[in-house]
Structure formats: C-alpha cells, structure tokens
A and B are shown apart, each in its own frame.
Chain A
Amino acid sequence: MNNVSRRKFITSGLAVAAGASGIGVAAKIAQHHGLIPPDAGVLYGPGETLTYAAQRILTRHSMAREFSRNQISPNPFANPVDPLGDEFKRLQAGNFADWRLIVDGMAARPRTLSLAEIRSFPTSTHITMIGCEEGWTYIGEWTGVPLSYILDRVGALPQARYVVYRSIQPDWWESIDMADALHPQTLVAHRMNGNDLPVPFGGPLRLRVPRQLGYKSVKYINHLTLTDNLKPFGKGRGGAASDAGYAWYAGI
C-alpha cells in the first residue's frame, strides 16, 4: 500500500464515519421534530422522508388553495368504492340517524358522537380541490366540523401525535399527523356543494384533508383514534394505502 492510497483509505474511512454519525444525529433531530414518516423504513424511505420533512418544514401552517364559487366542478367525479356492506345499508335505510363516530385513544374525555350531534357543531366551509394520485382532480365546496374542534371536545392529550381514522367499510383506514389533524381546513365533512354529503362522495361523513391526495380523504368514517404510535395499527405503516405499498404522506 503506497502513501497515496493509505491516505485516501484513511480519509475516506473518516468521511464515511463522519457521514454515518451525521446521518444518525440528523435522524434523531428529525424524529424529535416529527419529520420522519411511519413508512421511512421501506425501500423508498429516504425519498419519502425527504419529501415529508421538506413539506413539513415549508408547509406546516400553509392553507390549501381555495377557489371561487364559479370554479366548483359542475360534474364532479365520484371514484367508485367497493360494494357497500350490510351495516352501511342498514344505517342508510334509517337515513343515517344511528350513524356514530367513536372518538377514542389519547383523549381525556373519549366520546361516541351521533350524526345529529356532529351536525349541530359549528361548521367551516372551504372550496378546495380534491386530487387523486391517479392524476385527476375536481373542485368542490366542503362543509363540516373542523377536526380540531372535535379533538378539542374530547380533550386530546398533548402526547398524541397522530389521528387514525377508519371507514365503516372493511380495511379502509388512514392516519395523519397533528399538523394536518389540527389544520383549520381538515374537516369531518357532512355537506358538499350545499347539500348533505352524497353517498358516492363519502356521505354521511368523510374526512377531508385538502393538503393531501384523495386517498387520505377516507369515506364513511365512524371511528377516530388519537395515538402517539402507529405500530399497533395494521402493518404499522399508518394506513390501508401504505400497508398496500403507497406512501403514507400524500402531500405530493
């Protein structure tokens, strides 16, 4: 081994060690600031973590674009869903009077809310775009209770880091971090374009997360859970879509 290659060997060894410990420290800091997504461990984890961290740093408080009334799509597209189950049909026959939204997990006062109660809560209305990961979009006017209002009512504990939300339909659930859960445009929506939310669009209750793609806006929600850990849910990647190989964070 000559001098040059020994020097090169030592310096590259030091560089690798410094790089590895640098990444280690950066990962600790990122974890502390909630910049690591639950699917960071997959093959595409590095790209996913960069996207999530960059967007959280740049967009934590920014508002999804809102549109004027004349931009509302006259003919919005209702993405088809799996055939609705018997439980859904039973509730639908009763005009959803018996629809319940369970709110549990890391809350001081976990509750089960009826649809009538939810409809009596203060509402917020936003004309926003729903965009599918497939590439299509439409604009609609969504009215609902800000998720932050419901989390406040149940006394969400400060340790909570995610809200897991589930559809009455089997194997349909997602989760969002508190930046999106407490965001003023994130709604438990029950109206669309001035009418009760139609069933093909997720009625009676749909979670609207306008800063993320449509697959995070789960239809027919009946269960919210506050948690600080997504590991116990499904395969531990934070949603049915991410368990099936999609990215958990869908802000891009």
Chain B
Amino acid sequence: MDATLPIADRAADQLSSSAKPVSSAPALRRHSALVRATHWLTTIAFLALLLSGGEIVLSHPRFYWGETGNVNMHPWLNIHLPSSRGAVPTGYGYVLPDQNGWSRYLHFQAAWLAVGTGLLYGLFGVFSGHFRRNLFPAASDLSTKELGNSLTRHLRFERPGKEEAWSYNVLQRLSYLLVIFVLFPLMIWTGLAMSMGFTAAFPLSVRLLGGQQTARSLHFLVTILLVLFLLIHVLMVFVAGFRNRMRAMISGRAVPAAE
C-alpha cells in the first residue's frame, strides 16, 4: 500500500484489494479526491440547473435579441412547447401548472453550489498543478497532424490506449478547457446579466452582451452546448469502458488497459 496516499484513498485501496478485482492489472491512481468530489458536486448542480432552467423556459418559451422581449414582440426563436402561462399563445389548448417558485429557488441554490464548487476546483487546479499537468495540452499535441489523429481515433470510437489510463488525450483536454474556462464562466455571466439587482451594480455586465434579452438567449444557447458536451462526455465514458471510468471517478483508481 502506498503510504503517501490520502486516508480516503488508502481505504479505497483496502476495499478494492479485498473485493474481486476488475482486472488482473494493478489499479493506478487516476483522479485526486478533490477532482472526484468536485466532479460529482458539479454533476448534481448541473442536473439541478438544467431541470429547473428547462422548467423556467416553459413559462416563456420564446427568445429575443436586445434589451426587451415579450409576447407583443417578434422572437428569433419560438420553441413550440406548451407553456405554464396562459398569456403565451402556444397553440396548445391547455396551460401547464406554474412551477416557477421552486424552479427559481432550486436554480439559484444550485448555481451557488456550482460557483462554490468551481472556485474550489479553480484554486485546486492552479495550486496543485492539476491544470498544468492534466488539462493544458502539450505543445507537441497541438499540431494539425496530432489533432487529426486524435479526432480520427474518436470518430472511429476506438478504445483508448494504455497511455490514456491515467491522463487525458488532447481532444479531451481541449474540450474540458472549453467547458471549464469558457462555457461555465459564460453561463454565470449571462445568468447574472439577467438579474435586475446585479445589473444595477454592474451595468456593463449586460451592456457588453447587448441587452437583457440577449443575455437570456445566450444563457439558453450555452446550455445547449453544455448539454451536447454532456452527451458526448457520457458517450465517451461508455466507449472507454464504463466500469473502469466510473471506478476511476468514484474511487480514484483505474486499471491501465481497457476492461
């Protein structure tokens, strides 16, 4: 047993040595405890935000550009769903029950969880070297040839090789960087830019985006990108070996070869 491991990891080690081994290869440490904890906290927060956000959209399933938008104005996107408000002409003969009370409460509580988790992860990422070691791609991996090779392997749904058992490949690194440093911050920014209280204190936050309704539209569009990421992310977990990858994100350990 590795005496330098955190206690939680040593306990996991004991458990895994007494349980039936997944593979005869020795388990290697893949994710640190903080990455695992923040990963699952983010999962909980994201699903809560998605559910409550989707519910809130039902009270006005239309999107506009600029500062203002309402049923007297022309939307750039009209989602043909039933609405929870009778004032929105949807063409459906019924109105869904009003659920915005708990949806909004849950949305902001989950947003605080996401922001808190993000701050913790960000500090850890900088000071532990996690970003440098695991997320920033090596310069040699950024050549067109290497990126092309990685893309081809992904499109063929090839299982990752041994070298990927304890680290991320270049496309994985780039998509995680995009989600962590571009899409998540954009969600927080566009979310806050819709708040009457926040924009009173920081009017530039909404002016730079082009208006309150533009912020709402962007919040929705970035949600779609994050859902796409989630779908591909889960698909890739299955391609790489669901049990081994889940084991890695829960216990921290992975076997080097695919199951």
**Measured between alpha carbons, how far is A51 from B112 in the docked complex, in Å?**
8
Q: Judge whether A85 is part of the interface by a CB distance below 8 angstroms.
A: no
Q: Judge whether A112 is part of the interface by a CB distance below 8 angstroms.
A: no
**Measured between alpha carbons, how far is A47 from B113 in the docked complex, in Å?**
8
Which of B67, B105, B199 interacts with A42 by CB under 8 Å?
B105
Q: Judge whether B170 is part of the interface by a CB distance below 8 angstroms.
A: no
By a CB distance below 8 angstroms, the chain A residues around B69 are 135-137
How far apart are B86's CB and chain A's nearest CB, in angstroms? Answer: 7
**Measured between alpha carbons, how far is A138 from B70 in the docked complex, in Å?**
7
Q: Is the CB of A43 within 8 A of B105?
A: yes
Q: What's the tally of chain B residues with a CB closer than 8 Å to chain A? A: 42
Q: Judge whether A229 is part of the interface by a CB distance below 8 angstroms.
A: no
Q: Judge whether B59 is part of the interface by a CB distance below 8 angstroms.
A: yes
Q: Whose C-beta in chain B lies nearest to the C-beta of A183?
A: B200
Q: Whose C-beta in chain B lies nearest to the C-beta of A249?
A: B197
Q: Is the CB of A251 within 8 A of B68?
A: no
Q: Judge whether A10 is part of the interface by a CB distance below 8 angstroms.
A: no
Q: Is the CB of B201 within 8 A of A62?
A: yes
Q: Is the CB of A80 within 8 A of B216?
A: no
**Measured between alpha carbons, how far is A42 from B201 in the docked complex, in Å?**
27
Known contacts A44-B105, A48-B109, A139-B67: A79-B59 contact under CB 8 Å: no
Known contacts A137-B67, A137-B213: A251-B197 contact under CB 8 Å: yes
Q: Which of A28-61 contact B (CB under 8 A)?
A: 42-44, 46-48, 50-51, 55, 58-59
Q: Mark B149-178, 1 if CB is under 8 A from A, else 0.
A: 000000000000000000000000000000
Q: Judge whether B244 is part of the interface by a CB distance below 8 angstroms.
A: no
Which of B72, B86, B101, B201 interacts with A58 by CB under 8 Å?
B201
Known contacts A134-B85, A135-B59: A44-B67 contact under CB 8 Å: no
Q: Judge whether B198 is part of the interface by a CB distance below 8 angstroms.
A: yes
Q: Is the CB of B108 within 8 A of A65?
A: no
Q: What's the tally of chain A residues with a CB closer than 8 Å to chain B? A: 47
Which of A4, A131, A139, A247 interacts with B105 by CB under 8 Å?
A247
Which of B67, B72, B111, B192 interacts with A129 by CB under 8 Å?
B67
By a CB distance below 8 angstroms, the chain A residues around B102 are 44, 245
By a CB distance below 8 angstroms, the chain B residues around A137 are 67-70, 212-213
Q: Is the CB of B197 within 8 A of A73?
A: no
Known contacts A47-B108, A246-B101: A135-B56 contact under CB 8 Å: yes
How far apart are A131's CB and chain B's nearest CB, in angstroms? Answer: 6
By a CB distance below 8 angstroms, the chain A residues around B147 are none
Q: Whose C-beta in chain A lies nearest to the C-beta of B115?
A: A50
Q: Is the CB of A77 within 8 A of B72?
A: yes
How far apart are B188's CB and chain A's nearest CB, in angstroms? Answer: 12
Q: Judge whether A64 is part of the interface by a CB distance below 8 angstroms.
A: yes
Q: Mark B43-63, 1 if CB is under 8 A from A, else 0.
A: 000000000000011011010
How far apart are A42's CB and chain B's nearest CB, in angstroms? Answer: 7
Q: Judge whether B87 is part of the interface by a CB distance below 8 angstroms.
A: yes
**Measured between alpha carbons, how far is A129 from B213 in the docked complex, in Å?**
11
By a CB distance below 8 angstroms, the chain B residues around A210 are 196
Q: Judge whether B195 is part of the interface by a CB distance below 8 angstroms.
A: yes
How far apart are A19's CB and chain B's nearest CB, in angstroms? Answer: 14
By a CB distance below 8 angstroms, the chain A residues around B249 are none
Q: Judge whether A93 is part of the interface by a CB distance below 8 angstroms.
A: no
By a CB distance below 8 angstroms, the chain B residues around A212 are 196-197
Q: Which of A58-100 contact B (CB under 8 A)?
A: 58-59, 62-65, 67, 71, 73, 75-77, 79-80
Q: Judge whether B135 is part of the interface by a CB distance below 8 angstroms.
A: no
**Measured between alpha carbons, how far is A95 from B200 in the docked complex, in Å?**
36
Q: Judge whether A252 is part of the interface by a CB distance below 8 angstroms.
A: yes
Q: Which of A114-157 contact B (CB under 8 A)?
A: 129, 131-139
Q: Judge whether A244 is part of the interface by a CB distance below 8 angstroms.
A: yes
Q: Is the CB of A47 within 8 A of B200?
A: no
**Measured between alpha carbons, how far is A241 from B68 in the docked complex, in Å?**
24
Q: Mark A215-252, 1 if CB is under 8 A from B, else 0.
A: 00000000000000000000000000100111100111
Known contacts A77-B70, A129-B212, A137-B69: A244-B101 contact under CB 8 Å: yes
Q: Whose C-beta in chain B lies nearest to the C-beta of A59?
A: B201
Q: Judge whether B39 is part of the interface by a CB distance below 8 angstroms.
A: no
A-B contact pairs, 8 of them (CB 8 A): A44-B109, A46-B112, A55-B197, A65-B200, A133-B104, A135-B56, A246-B100, A246-B105
Q: A129-B67, A210-B196 are in contact. List 20 more A-B contacts (CB 8 A).
A: A4-B7, A8-B7, A44-B108, A47-B110, A48-B105, A51-B108, A75-B72, A77-B87, A80-B86, A129-B196, A135-B56, A135-B57, A136-B60, A136-B69, A139-B68, A212-B197, A241-B101, A246-B104, A247-B104, A247-B108
* Top 7 A-B pairs, shortest CB-CB distance: A251-B197, A47-B109, A245-B101, A44-B105, A77-B70, A136-B70, A134-B59
